[in-house]
Amino acid sequence: MAVPYYFGKALIGAALTSSTPARRSGTSKRPTRHAEEAASGPIPGPTLPGLVERIQTGAVFYLDTNILMESTYTPALDRFLDALAAHGAYIPISATQREEIQQLRKSGEPARQSLASAASRWLTAGAARQVIRFLDALPGPRTSYLDNEIVRAARAHLADAEVAAPFVYVVTDDVELSGRLHSAAPTLRCDPASVVVVTGRQFAALTLQPLD
């Protein structure tokens, strides 16, 4: 999900710029039929406890804004925060994403504003529980989009020679973003299993798994 932002930071360290065309704020391409059917099959990637462990050991993790703004996913998001709390873990939220949500709250469209406000409250509640940490913005020009940040962060993580076992996990219902992420590992000659992209429905199913 992408909107222009002016106060942003990459998850792993740098303000981003890109010539990738913007998509209309607050919208994302609908999942393909294959993606929707996949929610009822095996969930890609690790189990819920395994995902939390990966996050604790430095994996790049993103919940796309289209997931945070979908009210049907709220129970799953709450369960995920409970899982993080149970393991003493947390997820970082970039300044880019917070600014994106703030821009949507000012969009002038009541329905979108309401969803963005709910997403903002969820983030604030998670921060109060210390299972969400907000990253500060870097100084300098900040004229990119969250999608570009996610892809750039993923590629930088996969290419980092100092990371012994790179792992990227992104939750999104955006088919285009999913495709860009899946192409990152082969391009960098990394194990395709090092990049996992799941839909909101798949993530919701994952959060129902036991923590033991």
| 198 close to 61: Cβ distance less than 8 angstroms | no
Q: Facing residues of 197 across strands?
A: 170
- Taking residue 133's Cβ as centre, other Cβ atoms within 10 Å add up to 11
CATH of the domain at 188: 3.40.50.1010
So what's the pLDDT on residue 10?
A: 32
> How does pLDDT run across 13-67, given as a tens digit for each residue?
333 333 333 343 444 444 444 344 444 589 999 999 999 999 999 999 999 999 9
Per the domain annotation, does 114 fall within a domain? yes
Per the domain annotation, does 90 fall within a domain? yes
Q: Facing residues of 92 across strands?
A: 133
Q: How many domains does the chain have?
A: 1
Per the domain annotation, does 7 fall within a domain? no
> How does pLDDT run across 126-178, given as a tens digit for each residue?
999 999 999 987 666 565 689 999 999 999 999 998 999 999 999 999 999 99
